[in-house]
């Protein structure tokens, strides 16, 4: 079962008046999603104010009809009803922005979302891909390439200080109990946005001198989304035999709900392994704040049991392991991935611009092609920074 956004309005909900109207609109400048006006049945003209990507959200319902109806059967009535409600676009938008971008709908820029959706359309962003063998396969490619060029990699080495002036950079690091300094005429800075924001507030890495004022202003207009993730590993695929609409959930890829803690779940399909991941983005991650890891795992088990309609004791008895991560609390990321706040368009370019031909910047938050918050966006930004340095020769 392939989960993807539909490009064609081939479902009766997608054929409704609002969806078609919503494709022809202008994007209100400097708006957050929460500020965008909701279209109404009575006043179709107001629908013109909704950006076209909001209409795509309706395709949630056609992602996978089985899961959609399953959600309905399980009692997520408000979510299911909102799919059928032609005026529910804003609610979908808020759910989508929270779930996919892990962003605060009251802050996220609509312009940025539109830019991102357009970029995704160009690269089949409506399809879900897994790297066979996981991301380690990709990391192995990069490390092998660096090894073949005799480029050393220093793992478990924390940068504490970046001292720089034109044509000279000194990076002060600590590794275990030993400290060291690396010097070079230029450096590419690839700290995550959250780490750079701490540095700007003089709470983390010490930049000496501090980053230029325009970069500090850009950092204020960007934000890190919040995500908590729990992966549950079972003896068997406990959802496999559950039936809805005369089909089983054996091929289930995603499970969407309106649960306040873990609204989204996904399996490893097409690999039929007994593992399922619960995703707590944005406000859901906030709702888990302050709970211990054990309590959060317990909440994940409770949610999954309830969504699948299974006894909690059965789910618990089949569990062999649980893995948890909160990216917001991780000092090396300080958030999951970046988004642009309303009015912050263009800030990624400012953040990514070189300083004095000495400091160069890469990382997903500096991507300007519409792919920030992604691995491919991060890679593209690294290539861009490398080209900037090569162009100095």
Ligand X SMILES: Cc1cc2nc3c(=O)[nH]c(=O)nc-3n(C[C@H](O)[C@H](O)[C@H](O)COP(=O)(O)OP(=O)(O)OC[C@H]3O[C@@H](n4cnc5c(N)ncnc54)[C@H](O)[C@@H]3O)c2cc1C
Query: Footprint of ligand X on this chain (CB under 6 A)?
Result: 158-159, 190-192, 195, 205, 227, 229, 327, 332-333, 336-337, 363-364, 373-376, 378
Nearest residue (CB) to ligand X, 259 versus 326: 326
Q: Report helix angle 193-200 to 213-220, nearest 10.
A: 120
Tokens of 324: 């948890």
Nearest residue (CB) to ligand X, 111 versus 374: 374
CB of 121 vs ligand X, minimal distance in Å: 16
Nearest residue (CB) to ligand X, 222 versus 244: 222
How far apart are alpha carbons 293 and 352 in whole angstroms?
36
- Max Cα separation, the chain? 69
CB of 382 vs ligand X, minimal distance in Å: 7
Beta bridge partners of 234: 319
How far apart are alpha carbons 201 and 220 in whole angstroms?
10
Nearest residue (CB) to ligand X, 217 versus 325: 325
CB of 190 vs ligand X, minimal distance in Å: 5
Nearest residue (CB) to ligand X, 198 versus 305: 198
| Residue 340, burial from CB neighbour count under 10 angstroms (0-12, 13-18, 19+) | buried
CB of 336 vs ligand X, minimal distance in Å: 4
CB of 210 vs ligand X, minimal distance in Å: 16
Helix H or strand E encompassing 322: strand 319-326
Nearest residue (CB) to ligand X, 227 versus 249: 227
CB of 341 vs ligand X, minimal distance in Å: 18
CB of 365 vs ligand X, minimal distance in Å: 7
Nearest residue (CB) to ligand X, 3 versus 74: 3
Please give the sequence-ordered ranges of beta strands (E in DSSP) within 168-267, or none if there are none. Answer: 168-175, 178-184, 187-189, 206-208, 222-224, 227-234, 243-244, 247-248, 254-256, 264-267
């Amino acid at each position: 079962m392939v989960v993807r956004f539909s490009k064609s309005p081939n479902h009766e909900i997608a054929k409704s008046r609002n969806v078609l109207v919503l494709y022809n609109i202008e994007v209100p400048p400097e708006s957050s999603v929460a500020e965008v006006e909701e279209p109404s049945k009575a006043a179709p003209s107001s629908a013109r104010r909704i950006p076209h990507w909001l209409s795509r959200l309706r395709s949630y319902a056609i992602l996978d009809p089985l899961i959609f109806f399953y959600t309905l059967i399980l009692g997520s009535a408000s979510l299911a009803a909102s799919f059928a409600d032609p005026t529910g676009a804003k609610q979908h938008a808020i759910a989508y922005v929270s779930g996919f971008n892990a962003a605060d709908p009251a802050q996220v820029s609509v312009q940025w979302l539109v830019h991102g959706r357009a970029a995704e359309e160009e690269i089949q962003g409506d399809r879900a891909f897994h790297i066979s063998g996981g991301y380690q396969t990709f990391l192995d490619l990069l490390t092998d390439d660096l090894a073949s060029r005799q480029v050393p990699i220093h793992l478990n080495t924390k940068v504490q200080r970046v001292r720089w002036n034109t044509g000279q950079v000194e990076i002060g690091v600590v590794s275990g109990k030993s400290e060291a300094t690396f010097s070079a005429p230029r450096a590419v800075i690839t700290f995550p946005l959250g780490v750079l924001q701490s540095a700007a507030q003089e709470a983390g890495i010490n930049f000496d001198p501090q980053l230029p004022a325009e970069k500090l202003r850009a950092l204020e207009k960007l934000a890190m989304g919040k995500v908590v993730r729990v992966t549950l590993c079972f003896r068997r695929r406990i959802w496999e035999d559950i039936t809805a609409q005369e089909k089983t959930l054996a091929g289930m890829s995603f499970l969407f709900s309106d649960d306040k803690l873990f609204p989204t779940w996904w399996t490893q399909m097409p690999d039929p392994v007994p593992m399922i991941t619960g995703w707590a983005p944005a406000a859901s991650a906030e709702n888990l704040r302050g709970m211990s890891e054990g309590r959060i795992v317990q909440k994940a088990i409770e949610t999954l049991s309830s969504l699948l309609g299974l006894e909690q004791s059965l789910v618990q008895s089949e569990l062999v392991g649980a893995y948890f991560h909160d990216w917001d609390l991780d000092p090396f990321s300080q958030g999951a991935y970046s988004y642009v706040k309303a009015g912050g368009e263009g800030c990624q370019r400012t953040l990514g611009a070189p300083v004095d031909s000495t400091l160069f910047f890469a990382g997903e938050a500096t991507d300007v092609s519409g792919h920030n918050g992604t691995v491919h966006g991060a890679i593209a930004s690294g290539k861009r920074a490398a080209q900037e340095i090569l162009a100095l020769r």
